[in-house]
Amino acid sequence: MPSSLKSPPRKPPANPLTGVRPAERLCHTTGALLVLSGLAHLVVFAVDGGPWYGPVSWRKPVTFGLSFGLTLIAVTWVTSYLKVGERLRTVLLLVFAADCVLEVGGITLQAWRRVPSHLDMETPFDTAVSMSLAVGGGILVVVLTVFAVASFRHRPAGPVGMALAVRSGFAILLVALASGAAMIARGVVLVRTGHQEAAYDSTAPLKPLHGVSLHAVLVLPALAWLLSRTSWSEQARWRTVAVAVGCYAAAVAAAGAWAVLARR
């Protein structure tokens, strides 16, 4: 195993199961509650029925609750491998957790009101919710970009393959953020020019790309962590992570190609 593949010796970060700090525990708990909210709304959908797709459906509190909850848990854990000041990391994680609650809360509120959560400017209240979600999305971009930059400035700690997994996870997560921002920006322009229905339809091509790239920051580091619990050689573990990164990147590229073709 080449020494270049090994992470530099550092104090081992908290693993995903034990040794968590109070701020991390708060973020993990918040993430779990968001996941439970998503699952609860899956039950609501099963009882209440209605469309699964479209701007007004129970799909949104389900998928957003699950996605934001898992992402919050993943980012809280993965950033323990980054070389970031503890105070700065704590502040960023707390801001991220609050923003996740804001996003899921606003989307859930609008679902219960039976109105769209995004791109809805029919009333002053709906406009306030929609713009709050957009601002919250901007905050997410800033926080996660800071973590992504930190992962590339200094090699992440952890077992063999973790540095590659963390860096790749954050790089792919930035694709998710960019596609999400593009959906909102395009939709807002259409709404402002009087094309409300077109605004909702315009987000469809980018949704697969957004969804596929969102959870690489969980899947890839989790794989590296699980492999570290096996008896495989370091070289075999690193190669497995590298193959997984390549497969994930191919899936993202395919979703991106589909988005381009769907817009034509």
Distance, in Å, from the CA atom of 164 to the CA atom of 248, rounded to the nearest integer, reads 13
Torsion angle in degrees (nearest 10) through CA of 68, 74, 80, 82: -90
pLDDT band at residue 200 under the 50/70/90 scheme: low
| Of residues 182, 174, 176, the one with CA closest to residue 263 | 182
The DSSP H or E segment spanning 66 is helix 59-78
Domain 21-154 classification at class level: mainly alpha
pTM for the whole structure: 0.85
Task: For 104, list phi and psi in degrees, rounded to 5.
Answer: -65, -40
Distance, in Å, from the CA atom of 29 to the CA atom of 140, rounded to the nearest integer, reads 19
Share of the chain above pLDDT 90, in %: 61
Cα angle value 75/238/172 (rounded, 5°) = 35
**Residue 8 pLDDT greater than 50, yes or no:** no
Amino acid code (one letter) for 21: R
Contact 81, 159 (CB under 8 A): no
Tell me the residue ranges of DSSP E strands in the chain.
none
Task: For 157, list phi and psi in degrees, rounded to 5.
Answer: -80, -175
| Of residues 178, 176, 202, 179, the one with CA closest to residue 189 | 202
Distance, in Å, from the CA atom of 125 to the CA atom of 260, rounded to the nearest integer, reads 34
- Helix pair angle (59-78, 22-48), 10° resolution: 160
The string of pLDDT tens digits covering residues 44-75 is 999 998 888 888 889 999 999 999 999 999 99
The string of pLDDT tens digits covering residues 117-164 is 877 777 899 889 888 888 888 899 999 999 999 999 999 999 999 999
Which residues belong to CATH 1.20.120 in the chain? 21-154
Torsion angle in degrees (nearest 10) through CA of 152, 158, 161, 163: 0
**Residue 4 pLDDT greater than 90, yes or no:** no
Token pair, residue 89, equals 């990391």
What residues have CB less than 8 Å from 175, skipping those under 6 apart? Answer: 209, 213, 252, 256
Position 185 scores a pLDDT of 76
Sign of CA dihedral 154, 159, 164, 165: negative
